[in-house]
Amino acid sequence: MKELHPDVVVVGGGLVGLAIAEGLLRQKLRVTVCDEGDRAFRASRGNFGLVWVQGKGVNSAPYARLTSCSAQRWPDYARQLQRDSGIDPGHTRRGGLSLCLEADELAEKAAAMATLKRHTPGFDYEVLDAAGVRRFLPSASPDIAGGIFSPQDGHVNPLQTLHALLTSFEAQGGTYLPSCSVDDIQYQAGAFSLTAPGKCLQSARVVLAAGLGNARLAPLVGLHAPVVPVRGQVMITERVAPFLAYPTTSVRQTGEGTVQIGDSQERVGLDDGTLPETLAAMARRATALFPLLRSAQVVRTWGALRIMTPDGLPLYEESRSCPGAFVATCHSGVTLAAAHSEIIAPWIAGHASPTLLETFDGARFSV
């Protein structure tokens, strides 16, 4: 039965919205997710599936702590997701590497990791030269400067994770409404009315988890979500025999044998297409790192728009003028999925706000 008067409406059915929605169900709330249709921008299909700790929060100790906390929760979170959905998110946490072609790149990264270690003393990493990298990844070029290995990095199958989240959400009694783009939200007498094509929903709480759509929706409930699109292009190769035992930040191999190549960061507005020049640059870097990729055939490419706040850090805030309305948006929806389900959702459900979240309040964007 479709719940149009739930306890909470979550606007956005991607990795962030569904992780929060699923967490809210575990808080014993009735939850309805309103999602756009198939042609939405969907950052959930524009990511690399990394559950990544190294390099995150160099400029923000609270973000480093939130990232580390979520990554640590991921193994149990993945098992729970698989139990409740029957779908394996494919999470592994054996470590990961970021690779550098040049010596100055490596020196910069090493310095950043040292800073990160000061923020989060539990962060483990190694600075490696080319020979050190090749102990983990024998097919890496001997000509690279080196890289950083952290045993705390991992990866997951992002599409299977999204599938598992949705299946788990519905299995636990959540209502998922696709092709239900929210046009308007009104707040009156402590309750929210949401209008979508052919539907009107009412609830005491609303969570805006609509990625780029949050910019339009936030002002409706007295919030400010200054998010901008950042395009990432990705290349997918034919399935080949396994040769990459660990993920890297720009090249990883999936369990099916596919090699996924990133990683671009472009400010091109709402254009989720691909550009030959960018793909060529990605291919040049990937083959410089792993020469044997030269003969791999590219099967498909696509672009996707991801979310970026002005400082790159997440935004979690409850509206002051419309209490009960929340915004939750971030760049690393995969890594933070466990935290979204187990820390953000309880806060939204009415538990005490973790001190950790204060940094991510939107007041920091006010001039």
Partner 1 sequence: MAPVLAFERLPCVDGEVVTITINGRAHEVDARWTVAAALIAHGHTRCRCTPAGPARGPFCMSGVCFECLVDIDDTPNRQACMTPVAEGMQVVLRQDLRVLA
Binding site for partner 1 (CB under 8 A): 139, 238-243, 255-257, 292-293, 295-297, 299-300
Task: State the minimum distance, in angstroms, from the CB of residue 231 to partner 1.
Answer: 23
Nearer to partner 1, 244 or 307 (CB): 244
Task: State the minimum distance, in angstroms, from the CB of residue 262 to partner 1.
Answer: 19
Taking the CA atoms of residue 343, residue 344, residue 349 and residue 351 in that order, the dihedral angle to the nearest 10 degrees is 50
How crowded is the C-beta side of 279, counted as CA atoms within 13 Å?
A: 16
Task: State the minimum distance, in angstroms, from the CB of residue 295 to partner 1.
Answer: 6
Taking the C-alpha atoms of residue 332 and residue 158, their distance in angstroms, rounded to an integer, is 12
Task: State the minimum distance, in angstroms, from the CB of residue 299 to partner 1.
Answer: 5
Task: State the minimum distance, in angstroms, from the CB of residue 157 to partner 1.
Answer: 10
Nearer to partner 1, 238 or 361 (CB): 238
Taking the C-alpha atoms of residue 148 and residue 231, their distance in angstroms, rounded to an integer, is 25
Nearer to partner 1, 21 or 164 (CB): 164
Nearer to partner 1, 155 or 205 (CB): 155
In Å, how far are 38, 152, 209 from 181, measured between CA atoms?
11, 38, 12
- DSSP lists the bridge partners of residue 304 as 232
Nearer to partner 1, 267 or 294 (CB): 294
Nearer to partner 1, 295 or 355 (CB): 295
Closest CA to 14 of 315, 217, 305, 360: 305
How crowded is the C-beta side of 48, counted as CA atoms within 13 Å?
A: 28
Task: Annotate 304-340 with DSSP letters as a single string.
Answer: EEEEE-TTSS-EEEE-SSSTTEEEEE-S-TTTTHHHI
Exposed (0-12), middle (13-18) or buried (19+): which is 241, by Cβ within 10 Å?
exposed
Task: State the minimum distance, in angstroms, from the CB of residue 139 to partner 1.
Answer: 8
- End-to-end, the C-alpha distance of the chain in Å comes to 45
Task: State the minimum distance, in angstroms, from the CB of residue 294 to partner 1.
Answer: 9
Nearer to partner 1, 185 or 244 (CB): 244
Nearer to partner 1, 67 or 254 (CB): 254
DSSP E strands in 43-177: the ranges are: 50-51, 96-100, 126-129, 146-150, 154-155, 175-177
Task: State the minimum distance, in angstroms, from the CB of residue 257 to partner 1.
Answer: 5
* DSSP assigned state of 353: P
Closest CA to 148 of 64, 55, 68, 60: 55
Taking the C-alpha atoms of residue 64 and residue 294, their distance in angstroms, rounded to an integer, is 36
Coil, helix or strand at residue 367: coil
Task: State the minimum distance, in angstroms, from the CB of residue 240 to partner 1.
Answer: 5
Nearer to partner 1, 192 or 290 (CB): 290
Taking the C-alpha atoms of residue 186 and residue 121, their distance in angstroms, rounded to an integer, is 45
CA 284 to chain centre: 26
